[in-house]
Chains A and B, each alone.
Chain A
Amino acid sequence: MGSFFRGIWNTKGQARWILLVGVVITLVFIVFAVLAPWVAPYDFNQTKLDGAKLPKLAPPSGTYWFGTNDQFYDIYSRVVWGARTALEVIVLSLVISIVIGVPLGIASGFIGGWFDRILVFVNDAIYSLPSLLLAIVFSFLLRGPLGGGVTAAALSITAVYIPQYFRVVRNTTVSAREATYVEAARALGAKPFTIMRKYLFGNVVQSVPVLGTLNAADALGTLAALGFLGFGIQPNEASEWGYDLSRALDDAQAGTWWPTLFPGLALILLITALTLVGEGLNETANPALRRRRLRPVVFPRREQDEERTR
């Protein structure tokens, strides 16, 4: 792990700075998400204070930093809670799609034959559908059993990303399967499961982190699109930027800019940050793209030199 970070630090050019900027912005969002209950003045579903409703469409002010919207929500609180929702959905969907996609890809690539054919066919079929359409279909299907919450949204997005991990992992497995060390493992008497777990897994997951960060940005976009179209997380379940944007659209046409600006800005910032992390990781961690930084070697000064300068 240490060598991984050293490799990143020793990369030449912008890649390192791209990564750094992305990480810093993402960290800010993570801090807000974690500290949401303390940072946000109101709850995400709170429209009343001491029995009195909050003002409707109040402009940004000292009390309501980002103003309020047409549903009597405090926009600043919604944005902060929205960061928590976004990160929850991203983490959940990534974890589930990696946990399903990676083992499926390894098994498919290693076992081969009809098992592989069928899995590749199914995954290609899923992959060929427009991702948003797929997410909408799944959120419809999941709304019944799971309701309009974070889990349902995360699972709908998961369905989109499983084929991506499956593909990448399956293809690397197919080439790794022919490696001598896999045959050596067989010659040692390892069971197929052991070969997959101990010999293939470690060598094929290396592309997953980069794909994961790139997908994180994409997942956030899909989540917002679902919310914008009304198929995502319901406002009383969690705060979600896409939903807030769609609510604020009419007001924006009337010249009320604050309900759209702040959730939109948050969305764009986080997507950009995650993309920067993904690209930065890709260029620093991938030895084919990475350019090493040359650092001057400084020798300790010799004593005569010191005397001469003196």
Chain B
Amino acid sequence: MPTKPEPVLDIRDLVVHFQLQGGALSRLLGLGVRTVKAVDGVNLTLARGEVLGVVGESGSGKTTLGRALLGLVATTDGEVVYHDRERGERRVSHMRGRELRQLRTDLQMVFQDPHAALNPSMTIEEAVGHPLVIHGIAKGDELRRRVGEALERVGLAPVERFLSKYPSDLSGGQKQRAVIARAIILDPEVLVADEPVSMLDMSVRAKILQLMLDLKTDLGLTYVYITHDLASAKYFCDRIAIMYLGRVVEVGPTEEVFANPRHPYTKALLKAIPEPDPERMVPRDLPRGEIPDAAVPPLGCSFHPRCPEATSICGWESRDLRALIEEHWTRGSAETYARERDLVGDLEHLDRPDTRPRVGAGGALEVRGLLAEMRAEDPDEPLWLGVDAIDDDGDGVRVSFHPGEDPQLRAAGDVDVACVLYP
């Protein structure tokens, strides 16, 4: 990393929401328009010449973030600022039409699926040279020369063998090389690579990553490397940003993140990397469950329902209670389930986020007993840390949870981490 980082892209409070269409009835009546918070307030700075890895599970918003960087999706709020060497600051997130198209000469993208990213009815020569034609940079012999140069640079040589080929004639690795050639032919500053190797054979992955590293040093590129694969990020990136449900939860130098992961989610991801040696298998407490619904993210820290280190202030709420009760039932017999089902009554209303939910329909004492039994079953369950009080309320109880805290990115050592454990 350069000693004094010069920023090339600034992401400030970036928010990208997508509108969801509901069922036929709600669409007809114009009700219940739900929004998915794909990117929900991200702050990052990309320094010139670095490789920033954006790592996260499917649905964490990392691809949307990459697209927003190029202005391919509309931003809901916040801004992306590109520091042009000649023209100074330019706000990508507020550009339209012609201006945005012109920006493509500086910001380029490599797509995940090389089989789909090339137009099947264009030859490699046309496809790779098309950016130059679009921007009116070169034509005729000059165009051919530059296409040949780009293909050679990405290792599609001898060039003559590939010029007249169609994408269907090439292998996955060759296609990805062509896609990279198409991206670098405009001589961009920043290359956003959205899982560039995840669709390729194992044998080809390392070669493509090596190619990208070579191109970086030759052409002075800056990369945003989007991936779910921490192992390749370790090999490839200077800095890593871990994303969860539209937020960056930890960002810092790669060595530091790997050597000393701070956020529980980062720790979980690191544990999920397969070990090459079966003798060294360690018990893995991977995060339980799946990534939650981004339309209604959990209260407080969005990772808390899956977090093994959750505390009382992580934002416990009604949905966690429902999950816990249902999990309890999966362990019991059918008769227990039938009896307790009547005891707690309907659970549907718990799906509305609430820090003081009411449960029970079969008498306050019995419900209280059931909750105590569940607690005894698994005393380490972090949810109980967040329970302030259980009060009687008619024939049920009202559970009061401790108000949650939504952690912001804060400096902790060499990294920034968004977790209540690092205040």
Contacts and interface: CB of A to CB of B under 8 A. Distances in A.
Interface of A: 179-181, 183-191, 194, 198-199, 202-203
Would you list the 10 A-B pairs with minimal beta carbon distance, nearest first?
A189-B104, A202-B121, A180-B116, A189-B101, A187-B109, A181-B119, A188-B131, A180-B117, A184-B117, A190-B134
A191 B101 contact: yes
B108 interface: yes
Contacts of A203: 119-121
Contacts of A181: 116-120
B113 A180 contact: yes
B93 to A, nearest CB: 16
Q: Interface majority SS on A: helix, strand, loop or mixed?
A: helix
A187 B63 CA distance: 14
A188 B182 contact: yes
Contacts of A190: 101, 130, 134
Contacts of B108: 187-188
In this complex, the member of A187, A194, A199, A203 whose beta carbon has the largest number of chain B beta carbons within 10 angstroms is A187
Nearest to A204: B121
Interface string B96-113: 000011111100110111
B119 A199 contact: yes
Contacts of A185: 119, 130
Contacts of B100: 189
5 contacts: A183-B72, A189-B135, A191-B134, A202-B121, A202-B122
Contacts of A202: 119, 121-122
Contact of A186 (B72, B122, B186): B72
B51 interface: no
Contact of B122 (A179, A194, A198): A198
Contact of B72 (A179, A187, A191, A199): A187
B70 interface: yes
Interface of B: 70, 72, 100-105, 108-109, 111-113, 116-122, 130-131, 134-135, 179, 182, 186
A184 B111 contact: yes
Contacts of B118: 181, 184
Contacts of A198: 119, 122, 130
Contact of A189 (B111, B117, B120, B134): B134
A185 B72 CA distance: 11
B185 to A, nearest CB: 9
A16 B105 CA distance: 49
Given A179-B116, A189-B134, A189-B135, A184 B109 contact: yes
A188 B104 contact: yes
Contacts of B104: 187-189
In this complex, the member of A186, A188, A198, A203 whose beta carbon has the largest number of chain B beta carbons within 10 angstroms is A188
In this complex, the member of A180, A199, A203 whose beta carbon has the largest number of chain B beta carbons within 10 angstroms is A180
A246 B35 CA distance: 65
A121 B116 CA distance: 32
In this complex, the member of B100, B109, B118, B134 whose beta carbon has the largest number of chain A beta carbons within 10 angstroms is B134
Nearest to B97: A191
A189 B100 CA distance: 8
A58 to B, nearest CB: 58
Contacts of B111: 180, 183-184
A202 B121 CA distance: 6
Nearest to A192: B97
Contacts of A188: 104, 108, 130-131, 134, 182, 186
B134 to A, nearest CB: 5
Contacts of B135: 189
A185 B112 CA distance: 15
In this complex, the member of B70, B104, B130, B131 whose beta carbon has the largest number of chain A beta carbons within 10 angstroms is B130
Contacts of B119: 181, 185, 198-199, 202-203
Contacts of A199: 119, 122
Contacts of B105: 189
Contacts of B113: 180
A187 B108 CA distance: 7
A202 B108 CA distance: 24
Nearest to B101: A189
A187 B122 CA distance: 17
Nearest to A185: B119
